[in-house]
C-alpha cells in the first residue's frame, strides 16, 4: 500500500488520460465538495458533460470555484485530464496566487485498460485514438512536473498502484495551532548574548551551561516556551553564543524560532554563495570562524530548518520575523516567506541606504495577534492587534519579550551600544514620533474597517457609514475623552398577527423561549430619550481621568454622543445625582470615583422639542383642522342623496385616528424649567473606575491618566435585579429627580407567568405607556457561540401611531406593515450591543482612548445603515 502525502491546504491536480480512474480515485479519497470536476463544470454551463465546445467556459467556472475555495483555505482537488502543460500551468499559477502548494497525482494506467473502460461507457463518444494522444502527452510531460512548479509529484504506475494508494493529509510546516503555550516571545537579539541571558533570567528561565560555562539551554519551571522572532545573529558581540543557546533550547523543546533576514543571509554565506557582507554579517562570519566546522554546519542546518512563520494557539497567535498579513497566515509560497523575512517594502532605499518599508500593520484587521520584530523602535507599541518586539538592543536600546497570553512586556536594557545604527535610533523624547494614548487619528475611522470584539467576533463598518458617523462626531459630539460608550439600538419583537395589534408580548416571550432563555425581566419602557450619564466624584477625578476643564464633573449625552443640555443645567443635574450616590454610600460600595449609567431622560420633549413642533404637531394640527370639515361636508352630501360609498366612514375613522395621534404624542410633552419637570430613570450601571485596586466588578485593570492610575470595572455580568436594586436606593433619596423603572419577572416556560406578563403590558399601554422591554434576567447571555438579544421592545398600539402615522391601524395599512422585515434591525442591535460591551471592556482594562473609540465610533457608524428607522 502506497501512502501519498498531501498538505492539508493544497491544490491537488489529478493527471491522467480518460479512463484512468481519476473520478473514482477522487471520490474514494476526498470529500464530495473538495473535488472540482471539469466534466461537472461542463454540465453546469452546457447541460452536457461531453460537450467539448463548452470546455473553455467550463474551465473558467472550474478556476473560479477553485479560487474561492483556496481563498477560504480549503484543500481542493481538480479532476480533469490535465495532460497538457498549458492546463497544468494555469492551475499551478492559481495555487501560487493563493499561496498554497500545488501537488500532482499522476494515474499512469495502461492504454488498453483506459480504452476498454471507455468502450463500456455510453457517455464516451470517442475512440482509442483520443486515449492514445492523451497518453503521448502525459508521457512527454511526466518528468517535468517538478520543474513546472509542483511541490510534490506522486506517480501511480498501473491499476494496482492506483487501487492500493492511500492519502495522508500532512500538517503544514507553519501549523502549530495545537501548541497553546504559554509563551515568552523574544525580540531581535543580534548577537547580544549577555542581554539574552539577563532577559531569560528575568523571565524565570533556568540556564544550563556546558563544561566550559557556555549557555546551551534554558528551561522554565512552569513549562513555558520561548519563541525567538529571528535575527539572532549579526552586529552584536557573540552571535555564536546566542545561536548555541537558542539551538539548544529548540532542540530540547524549550523554545521555537522563526528565521530572520539575517539568518537567511547567513545561510547563503555559509554555503559559499556570493552575498554582500554588510549590516554585521562580517562580524558574525569572523566569530563563527573561531568555532569548529561541526558547529558551523549545525548552524547552517538549524537556520535552514526554520519555517517562515508559526501559527500557534488555535490560530490566535502568529509569530514572524517581519510580520505577516492575514491573507498569508498559514500559507506557503515564496512571497509569504519573503514577506515574513523582509516585510512589505517599496523596493526603494531611504537617505540612510535602508529599505523603505510599508506600514502593513496599520492596515491589519486580522483575528490573530501577530508578534514580530525586524524594525527597531525605542518602545513597543500595539498597532491593530500586532506588536513589534525589536527595541534595538544591539543599538543600545532594550531586549524585549512578550509574555503570552498575559500580554505582559518584560525588558532588559542593553549593556551598551554594540553597533552604530545607520538611521538614528535613540532620539530625544521631545523629537520621538510617539502616539499618545489619547490621541485620535482620522485614519482610525476613515474607510472600511473591522472591529474585533470579544463577544461577537469581527464586526465590519462600511466606508459610507464611517463617513456619516465622522461628520456627526466631528460636528456635534462631546469631547472624545468623555465618550466611553454608546448604547445599542433595541431589537423589535416579531410582528403580531392579532387583530389590530402590530406588536404583542407573546412574540418576545416565544423568541427567548426558543433560544432556551426562560428567566426574563420585563421593564417599563419610559417615555423619553436614551441617555448615558458619566458622573465623577469631584472635579479632581474629572480633570485627572477625563481631562475635564474647570467646572466640569461629567456629561449627559445622547445615543449619538451629543450633550443634552448646556454646561450649567448639566452640572446642576449631575450635582443632584452625585448627592444621591454619596448619600447611599455607593461610591464606597463600588470603590468608585466615577460611574457610567444607562438611563432614560424624560420628557421626550426635553430633547425632541423641535421634532415635535416641526413634524408631529403640524401633522396632528392639519388633520384635526381639515378632517372635521371634511366629515361635515360629506354628511351634508349624503343627506342630499349623493352616493358616497365608504368615503364617509373612512373619513370619520381618520378623524378619530387624528385625535388619537395628537393624544399619543402629547403624552411625551410637558413643560420644564431647569431641573423642574425633568425626570431621569437610570436602569443599569455600565462601568465604574477608581484610583484604587479592582473590586467586585467583572473586570478590572490599571490605566494611567495625568499621573494617576485608575482601575475600571464593568457590570454586564450582574443580573438586572442587582442593577435595579442599586438604582432603587438612589431613587429613594432623590424621588423628585429620579424615576423608578417598574418591572416584572416572567418565566417564559410557564404559561401562567407569560399571561401575567401580557396583562401587565396591557395595563401599561392602556394607561398611555409606551410599552415594555423584555430582557434576559441574567443580563449578558450566551447562546452557544452567539449572544442573546439584550432586550426586545414591545410597543403599545397607541405609541406605534406616533411611529407609523395616524392611520396605521386601518386594516389595509396593518396588512402591509405585517410584512415588515426585522432581521436586519435585530442583527444591527446585536452588533451594536457587542461593540458597546467591547468599548466598556477596553475602558476597564485601561486601553488607550483611540482603542475605546474604535468601538464607540463603530456603533455610531452602524446607525447609518439603511434600516427602517420606525422599527
3-state secondary structure 139-178: HHHHHHCCCCCCCEEEEEECHHHHHHCEEEEECCCCEECC
pLDDT bucket at 697, cuts 50 / 70 / 90: very low
pLDDT at 520: 97
Q: Are 661 and 578 in contact (CB under 8 A)?
A: no
Q: Tell me how far apart the alpha carbons of residues 778 and 782 are, in angstroms, rounded to a whole number.
A: 10
Point out which residues pair with 176 in neighbouring strands: 312
* pLDDT greater than 90 at residue 471: no
Residue 278, SS3 per DSSP: coil
Give the mean pLDDT of 836-848.
Answer: 87
pLDDT at 336: 92
In order, the DSSP letters of 821-849 are --HHHHHHHHHHHHHHHHHHHHHHTT--H
Beta-carbon contacts of residue 187 (< 8 Å; ≥ 6 apart): 229, 373, 388, 389, 390, 391, 393, 399, 400, 401
Q: Could you tell me which residue, 26 or 783, shows the higher pLDDT? A: 26
Q: Are 186 and 199 in contact (CB under 8 A)?
A: yes
Give the mean pLDDT of 3-19.
Answer: 93
pLDDT at 695: 33
Q: Tell me how far apart the alpha carbons of residues 211 and 659 are, in angstroms, rounded to a whole number.
A: 99
Q: Tell me how far apart the alpha carbons of residues 554 and 574 are, in angstroms, rounded to a whole number.
A: 7
* pLDDT greater than 60 at residue 701: no
Q: Are 798 and 668 in contact (CB under 8 A)?
A: no
Q: How many CA atoms lie within 13 A of 221 on its CB side?
A: 5
Beta-carbon contacts of residue 554 (< 8 Å; ≥ 6 apart): 482, 533, 534, 535, 536, 542, 570, 574, 594
User: In the chain, pLDDT over 90 holds for what percent of residues?
Assistant: 57
Point out the least confidently predicted range of 327-341, 374-388, 528-542, 761-775: 374-388
Q: Tell me how far apart the alpha carbons of residues 734 and 648 are, in angstroms, rounded to a whole number.
A: 53
Beta-carbon contacts of residue 231 (< 8 Å; ≥ 6 apart): 188, 189, 190, 260, 261, 262, 263, 321, 373, 374, 390
pLDDT at 709: 46
Q: Tell me how far apart the alpha carbons of residues 580 and 582 are, in angstroms, rounded to a whole number.
A: 5
Q: Tell me how far apart the alpha carbons of residues 419 and 200 are, in angstroms, rounded to a whole number.
A: 22
Cis peptide before 405 (omega within 30 of 0): yes
CA dihedral 854, 858, 861, 862 (to 10 degrees): 180
* Crossing angle (nearest 10°) for helices 261-270 and 281-289: 50
pLDDT at 347: 57
Nearest CA to 662 among 629, 619, 625? 619
Give the mean pLDDT of 302-309.
Answer: 94
pLDDT bucket at 70, cuts 50 / 70 / 90: very high
CA distance to 498, 768, 792, per residue, from 762 (Å): 14, 10, 16
* pLDDT greater than 90 at residue 142: no
Question: Residue 3: phi, psi to the nearest 5?
Answer: -95, 125
∠ CA(129), CA(133), CA(137), 5° rounding? 170
pLDDT at 500: 84
3-state secondary structure 338-351: HHHHHCCEEEEECC
Residue 52, SS3 per DSSP: helix
pLDDT at 426: 55
**CB neighbours of residue 767 within 10 Å:** 9
Point out which residues pair with 510 in neighbouring strands: none
* pLDDT greater than 50 at residue 700: no
Strands of 206-277, DSSP E: 206-209, 215-219, 225-228, 255-257
* pLDDT greater than 60 at residue 411: yes
Give the mean pLDDT of 720-732.
Answer: 96
pLDDT at 416: 92
Alpha-carbon Rg for the chain, nearest whole angstrom, is 35
pLDDT in tens, 77-96: 999 989 999 899 999 999 99
Q: Are 839 and 484 in contact (CB under 8 A)?
A: yes
CA dihedral 596, 598, 604, 607 (to 10 degrees): 30
**CB neighbours of residue 178 within 10 Å:** 9
For the chain, give the longest Cα–Cα distance: 122
**CB neighbours of residue 146 within 10 Å:** 11
Calculate the average pLDDT of the chain. Answer: 88
Point out the least confidently predicted range of 645-654, 687-696, 730-739: 687-696
Q: Could you tell me which residue, 503 or 465, shows the higher pLDDT? A: 503
Q: Tell me how far apart the alpha carbons of residues 734 and 726 are, in angstroms, rounded to a whole number.
A: 13
Grid cell at residue 393: 538592543
Point out which residues pair with 522 in neighbouring strands: 744, 774
pLDDT at 513: 93
pLDDT bucket at 356, cuts 50 / 70 / 90: low
Q: Tell me how far apart the alpha carbons of residues 512 and 388 are, in angstroms, rounded to a whole number.
A: 45
Give the mean pLDDT of 650-665.
Answer: 83
Residue 193, SS3 per DSSP: helix
Helix (H) or strand (E) holding 586: helix 586-589
Measure the N-to-C terminal CA separation of the chain; round to a whole number of Å. Answer: 64
Q: Are 607 and 529 in contact (CB under 8 A)?
A: yes
Q: How many CA atoms lie within 13 A of 814 on its CB side?
A: 15
Point out the least confidently predicted range of 114-118, 284-288, 290-294, 633-637: 633-637
User: In the chain, pLDDT over 70 holds for what percent of residues?
Assistant: 93
Point out which residues pair with 682 in neighbouring strands: 599
* pLDDT greater than 70 at residue 654: yes
Nearest CA to 518 among 775, 774, 749, 720? 749
pLDDT at 749: 95
pLDDT in tens, 616-631: 778 878 888 888 888 7
* pLDDT greater than 70 at residue 702: no
* pLDDT greater than 60 at residue 213: yes
Question: Residue 78: phi, psi to the nearest 5?
Answer: -100, 115
Point out the least confidently predicted range of 247-261, 471-485, 592-606: 471-485
pLDDT in tens, 219-273: 999 999 999 999 999 999 999 999 999 999 999 999 999 999 999 999 999 998 8
Q: Are 179 and 386 in contact (CB under 8 A)?
A: no
**Kind of pairing between the strands at 529-536 and 594-602:** antiparallel
Q: What DSSP character marks residue 48?
A: -
Amino acid at each position: 500500500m502506497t501512502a501519498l502525502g498531501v498538505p492539508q491546504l493544497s491544490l491537488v491536480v489529478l493527471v491522467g488520460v480518460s479512463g484512468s480512474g481519476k473520478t473514482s480515485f477522487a471520490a474514494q479519497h476526498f470529500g464530495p465538495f473538495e473535488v472540482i470536476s471539469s466534466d461537472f463544470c461542463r454540465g453546469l454551463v452546457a447541460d452536457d458533460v461531453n460537450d467539448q465546445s463548452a470546455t473553455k467556459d467550463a474551465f473558467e467556472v472550474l478556476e473560479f470555484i477553485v479560487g474561492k475555495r483556496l481563498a477560504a483555505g480549503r484543500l481542493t482537488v481538480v479532476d480533469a485530464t490535465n495532460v497538457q502543460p498549458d492546463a497544468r500551468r494555469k492551475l499551478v499559477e492559481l495555487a501560487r496566487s493563493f499561496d498554497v502548494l500545488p501537488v500532482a497525482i499522476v494515474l499512469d494506467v495502461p492504454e488498453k485498460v483506459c480504452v476498454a473502460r471507455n468502450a463500456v461507457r455510453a457517455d464516451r463518444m470517442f475512440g482509442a485514438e483520443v486515449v492514445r494522444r492523451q497518453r503521448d502527452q502525459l508521457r512527454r510531460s511526466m518528468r517535468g512536473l517538478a520543474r513546472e512548479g509542483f511541490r510534490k509529484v506522486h506517480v501511480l504506475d498501473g491499476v494496482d498502484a492506483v487501487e492500493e494508494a492511500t492519502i495522508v493529509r500532512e500538517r503544514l510546516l507553519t501549523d502549530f495551532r495545537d501548541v497553546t503555550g504559554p509563551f515568552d516571545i523574544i525580540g531581535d537579539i543580534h548577537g547580544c548574548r549577555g542581554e539574552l541571558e539577563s532577559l531569560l533570567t528575568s523571565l524565570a528561565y533556568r540556564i544550563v551551561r556546558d563544561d566550559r560555562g557556555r549557555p546551551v539551554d534554558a528551561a522554565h519551571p512552569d513549562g513555558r516556551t520561548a519563541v525567538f522572532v529571528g535575527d539572532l545573529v549579526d552586529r552584536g558581540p557573540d552571535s555564536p553564543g546566542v545561536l548555541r543557546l537558542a539551538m539548544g533550547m529548540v532542540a530540547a523543546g524549550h523554545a521555537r524560532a522563526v528565521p530572520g533576514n539575517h539568518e537567511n543571509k547567513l545561510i547563503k554565506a555559509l554555503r559559499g554563495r556570493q552575498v554582500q557582507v554588510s549590516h554585521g554579517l562580517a562580524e558574525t562570519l569572523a566569530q563563527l570562524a573561531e568555532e569548529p566546522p561541526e558547529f558551523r554546519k549545525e548552524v547552517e542546518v538549524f537556520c535552514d530548518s526554520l519555517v517562515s512563520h508559526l501559527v500557534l494557539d488555535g490560530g490566535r497567535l502568529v509569530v514572524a520575523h517581519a510580520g505577516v498579513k492575514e491573507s498569508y497566515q498559514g500559507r506557503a509560497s515564496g512571497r509569504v516567506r519573503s514577506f515574513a523575512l523582509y516585510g512589505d517594502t517599496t523596493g526603494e532605499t531611504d537617505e540612510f541606504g535602508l529599505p523603505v518599508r510599508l506600514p502593513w500593520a496599520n492596515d491589519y484587521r486580522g483575528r490573530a495577534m501577530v508578534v514580530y520584530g525586524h524594525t527597531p523602535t525605542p518602545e513597543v507599541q500595539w498597532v491593530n492587534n500586532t506588536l513589534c518586539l525589536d527595541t534595538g538592543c544591539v543599538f543600545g536600546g532594550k531586549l524585549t519579550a512578550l509574555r503570552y497570553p498575559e500580554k505582559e512586556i518584560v525588558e532588559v536594557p542593553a549593556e551598551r551600544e554594540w553597533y552604530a545604527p545607520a538611521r538614528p535610533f535613540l532620539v530625544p523624547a521631545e523629537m520621538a514620533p510617539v502616539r499618545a494614548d489619547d490621541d485620535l487619528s482620522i485614519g482610525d475611522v476613515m474607510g472600511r474597517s473591522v472591529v474585533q470584539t470579544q463577544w461577537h467576533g469581527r464586526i465590519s463598518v462600511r466606508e459610507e457609514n464611517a463617513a456619516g458617523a465622522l461628520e456627526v462626531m466631528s460636528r456635534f459630539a462631546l469631547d472624545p475623552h468623555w465618550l466611553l460608550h454608546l448604547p445599542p439600538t433595541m431589537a423589535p419583537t416579531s410582528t403580531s398577527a392579532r387583530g389590530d395589534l402590530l406588536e404583542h408580548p407573546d412574540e418576545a416571550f416565544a423568541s427567548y423561549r426558543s433560544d432556551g432563555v426562560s428567566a426574563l425581566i420585563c421593564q417599563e419602557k419610559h417615555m423619553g430619550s436614551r441617555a448615558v450619564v458619566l458622573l465623577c466624584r469631584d472635579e479632581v477625578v474629572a480633570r485627572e481621568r477625563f481631562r475635564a476643564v474647570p467646572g466640569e464633573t461629567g456629561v449627559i449625552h445622547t445615543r449619538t454622543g451629543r450633550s443634552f443640555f448646556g454646561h450649567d443645567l448639566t452640572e446642576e443635574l449631575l450635582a443632584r445625582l452625585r448627592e444621591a450616590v454619596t448619600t447611599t454610600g455607593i461610591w464606597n460600595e463600588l470603590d468608585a470615583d466615577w460611574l457610567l449609567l444607562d438611563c432614560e431622560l424624560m420628557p421626550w420633549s426635553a430633547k425632541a422639542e423641535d421634532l415635535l413642533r416641526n413634524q408631529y404637531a403640524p401633522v396632528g394640527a392639519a388633520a384635526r383642522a381639515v378632517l372635521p370639515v371634511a366629515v361635515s361636508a360629506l354628511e351634508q352630501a349624503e343627506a342630499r342623496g349623493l352616493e358616497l360609498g365608504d368615503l364617509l366612514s373612512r373619513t370619520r375613522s381618520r378623524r378619530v385616528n387624528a385625535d388619537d395621534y395628537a393624544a399619543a404624542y402629547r403624552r411625551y410633552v410637558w413643560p420644564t424649567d431647569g431641573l423642574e419637570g425633568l425626570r431621569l430613570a437610570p436602569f443599569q450601571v455600565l462601568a465604574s473606575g477608581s484610583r484604587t485596586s479592582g473590586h467586585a466588578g467583572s473586570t478590572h485593570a490599571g490605566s494611567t491618566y495625568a499621573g494617576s492610575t485608575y482601575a475600571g470595572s464593568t457590570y454586564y455580568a450582574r443580573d438586572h435585579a442587582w442593577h435595579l436594586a442599586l438604582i432603587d436606593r438612589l431613587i429613594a433619596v432623590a424621588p423628585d429627580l429620579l424615576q423608578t423603572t417598574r418591572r416584572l419577572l416572567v418565566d417564559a416556560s410557564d404559561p401562567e407567568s407569560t399571561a401575567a406578563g401580557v396583562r401587565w403590558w396591557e395595563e401599561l399601554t392602556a394607561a398611555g405607556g409606551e410599552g415594555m422591554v423584555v430582557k434576559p434576567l441574567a443580563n449578558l447571555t450566551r447562546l452557544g457561540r452567539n449572544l442573546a438579544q439584550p432586550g426586545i421592545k414591545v410597543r403599545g398600539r397607541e405609541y406605534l401611531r406616533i411611529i407609523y402615522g395616524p392611520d396605521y391601524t386601518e386594516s389595509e395599512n396593518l396588512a402591509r406593515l405585517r410584512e415588515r422585515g426585522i432581521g436586519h434591525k435585530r442583527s444591527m442591535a446585536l452588533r451594536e450591543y457587542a461593540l458597546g460591551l467591547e468599548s466598556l471592556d477596553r475602558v476597564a482594562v485601561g486601553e488607550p482612548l483611540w482603542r475605546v473609540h474604535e468601538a464607540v465610533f463603530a456603533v455610531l457608524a452602524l446607525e447609518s445603515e439603511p434600516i427602517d428607522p420606525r422599527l
